Each structure stands twice: as structure tokens, then as C-alpha cells.
Amino acid sequence: MNDLLDKLCRSDRRALARAMSQVDSAGRTDPELEVHLRRATGQVPWWGFTGPPGVGKSTLIDALLQRLREKQRRIGVVAVDPSSRRSNGALLGDRVRMMRHAVDADVFIRSLATHRHEGGLSDATLHCARLLELAGYDPVLIETVGVGQNEVEIAAVADLCVVMLGPGYGDEIQLIKAGLLEIADIVVVNKCDLPESDRLLNEVREELAGTARARDVRQSAPGEEGSPEEDTPDAAGGVAVMGIEAKTGRGVEELLDRLLAMDRAHRTADAQASRDRRRVLGELRRRATSVCEQALDGALSGEEAKRWIDRLSRGDASLDAIVAELTAAALNEVKKRGQNYFSCKK
């Protein structure tokens, strides 16, 4: 382990790639490494980029990489792709988009498939981001496709969340309604070279200004309150709204300045503690939910299932009473197997 840690801290690309492959395939790291990662990380900002497929997330990250390199920063990128899209080349797409940086020793780009293991997107992403942080990359950028619950999860993981929208998506308003905007620290309207981008910018500003920002995810840790923020000319409801052209780089410098400034503002002990609570609460909830679901699946399969079905059908007790017994039995099984529960189940 010491040898591996040493290599990771020295940013040995092979060791890093191997550790990330393990995370990608198993959804977890070696427990000893995991404990070390938790202790040694949490200082570096993670920026999340989310938005509909093809909106220009990878193109923007590529443009940011170039500018961050000019500032002598070493950058880690985790590009998360739902596995269903892996076959149609999307995964390759992210790599290709950022290819010119792939040979740069100070940039590390890793694509991750998702949903192959319990815990979903966030746990593997968290581990990979921590690995990048341990290896000295700062900041860590995370790209996710903004189409569902996972992206809300990623907002709970990232320090800053950039939501990208672009003209030409019929379902744009749908996304706005679906709450994607609620997780944004900055909303970026990309492809401002295309018609309709002004209209979209206005719609986003109106939506943000009009809606009370129920930042459920960010406030989900107990004992936290959000602070009301004021509208300014380039911010609605406290959220910055910026129009850019990722492809030509127009507006990217300003966006980076804004991200770096927000980063500095977020580097208070309070903000970091709140971020940590959010991350860890999500991890706990996801893993615990997953354990409980698997335990119940186990208890409700084969001969075991028959026993519960018979008892309920016969009217031995009420549904609630049987469920109480069933869950207690399932959790007892988890307790018996301890932390080997997942390996026992596989």
C-alpha cells in the first residue's frame, strides 16, 4: 500500500490509471486506500459541468484546460458517461474533444462509465476525483450529462456547479423545469454564435429571477441554511448567467475568471465543512440504501420469499408487521456479514 500511495502522490500516471480502472469496474477502491484518500483530500476545488448531450461540455472543458495550463495549473478531468451511451461513441467523443491535452503530463483525463455497480455515478466519480486530488491535480473538473437524478447528485459532490444550456434544444424549458437550474452556481448558455441564444439567455434569467431557489441538494445536510443572494446585472437569483462560444473561446476567459473568483470565496472553513458534509451524507445515503435494497432482494428471493409470501397470504399478521420482521431479518444478515457484505453478494 505504501508503495502505491507513494506512486499516486508522485502522480505516477500508470498507478493512477490502474487505481481508476479498479474504481470504474468495481465502483470502489481498496478500503485502506479509500481511508487514506478521505484523510488526504478535500482541499482542492472540484468543478462540475452538466447539461444536455452535445451542448458543448467537453469543448468548454478543453478551452478551460488550455487557459488553466497557461496559469501553470495541473488539471484532472473526470468525464462521466452513462454506460448506455458508451456504444455510440460518446465516451470516445469526450476524449477526442480534449485529445490535444491528453499528452500533457500536467493534465489527466479519465472517462468513467456509470451504473454498472451499485451506488451509481457519484461514488466512482468521488473516488476518481479524490485520486486526482491526491496526485496533485488542482482543480478537478467533472463532466456529466444533465438528464436526470445523477446530475443532481453530482451537484452535491462538486464545489461549484456549471449548468450548460444551448439553443436548439426543444426540451430546454423542460430541463429548466426539471430543476437543473436549481443546482447551478453558474448557468452558461453555449453556442451564442447560433440564433435563438439571446432568447434562451433571457428565458434563463427570467426563470432564475422568478423562482425561489430551492437548493434542496445543497442544503440537504442537517443544520444548514442557504444565504439569500442579490440579483446583479449578470446574475439572476444570485446565480451568474453567462453567454459563451466554447468552440471559438469567446467568453471562456471571463467564465474562468468567475470560477476562480467563486473558488476563492468558497475557500472558507465553513464552506468546506458544509461541502464535506454534503458529500459524505450523499455517500452514506447511497451506500446504505444500496445495502438495504440488496439485503431485501436476498430475503425476497427463492425459498426465503416463499416463507414471507405464505405468512402474509395466510394472514398470520398484518403487512406492516411482516415487513418489520422481514427488514429486521434482512438487516441482521447485513450485520452478520459485516463489511464483506458486497463481496459475499457477488
Kindly give the interhelix angle for 120-134 and 269-299, rounded to the nearest 10 degrees: 140
Residue 59 binds Mg ion (CB under 5 A): no
Closest to ligand GTP by CB, 8 or 181 = 181
| Residue whose cell numbers read 442579490 | 230
Angle at 290 between CA 284 and CA 296, to 5 degrees: 135
Residue 90 Cα distances to 30, 54, 113, 159, angstroms: 29, 9, 10, 26
Minimum distance of Mg ion from residue 241's CB (angstroms)? 22
Strand, coil or helix: what is 119? coil
Contact stretch for ligand GTP (CB under 6 A) within 56-64, 68-76, 129-137, 227-235: 56-64
The option from ligand GTP, Mg ion, none interacting with 159 (CB < 5 to 8 A, set by class) reads none
247 binds ligand GTP (CB under 6 A): yes
Q: What grid cell was written down for 205?
A: 434569467
If one asks whether residue 74 binds ligand GTP (CB under 6 A), the answer comes out as: no
Q: How many C-beta atoms surround the C-beta of residue 135 within 10 A?
A: 22
Q: How far is the CB of 317 from ligand GTP (least distance, A)?
A: 51
CB of 251 to ligand GTP, least distance (A): 9
| Burial category of 72 from C-beta neighbours within 10 Å (exposed 0-12, middle 13-18, buried 19 and up) | exposed
Q: Where are the beta strands (DSSP E) in the chain?
A: 46-51, 75-82, 107-114, 140-145, 160-165, 186-189, 235-236, 239-243
Whichever of 94 and 172 has its CB closer to ligand GTP, that residue is: 94
Kindly state whether residue 58 participates in binding Mg ion, applying the rule CB under 5 A.
Answer: yes
Q: How many residues bind Mg ion (CB under 5 A)?
A: 3
Nearer to Mg ion, 144 or 294 (CB): 144
| Per-residue mark of binding to Mg ion, 69-108 (x: CB under 5 A) | -------------------------x--------------
Interface stretch with ligand GTP, choices 87-95, 108-116, 260-268, 319-327 (CB under 6 A)? 87-95
Nearest to 135 by CA among 44, 63, 62, 71: 44
Interaction partner, residue 45 (ligand GTP, Mg ion, none; CB < 5-8 Å by kind): none
How far apart (Å, rounded) are the C-alpha atoms in residues 226 and 35? 30
Q: Interface with ligand GTP by CB under 6 A: which range of 240-248, 253-261, 273-281, 313-321? A: 240-248
Q: Is 154 an interacting residue with respect to ligand GTP (CB under 6 A)?
A: no
Instruction: Find out whether 125 and 78 touch, Cβ atoms under 8 Å.
Output: yes
- Using left for φ > 0, alpha for ψ between -120 and 50, and beta otherwise, residue 333 falls in alpha
Task: List the interface residues with ligand GTP, window 186-225 (CB under 6 A).
Answer: 190-191, 193-194
Residues at the interface with ligand GTP (CB under 6 A): 53-59, 90, 93-94, 97, 145, 190-191, 193-194, 245-247
* Site for Mg ion, rule CB under 5 A: 57-58, 94
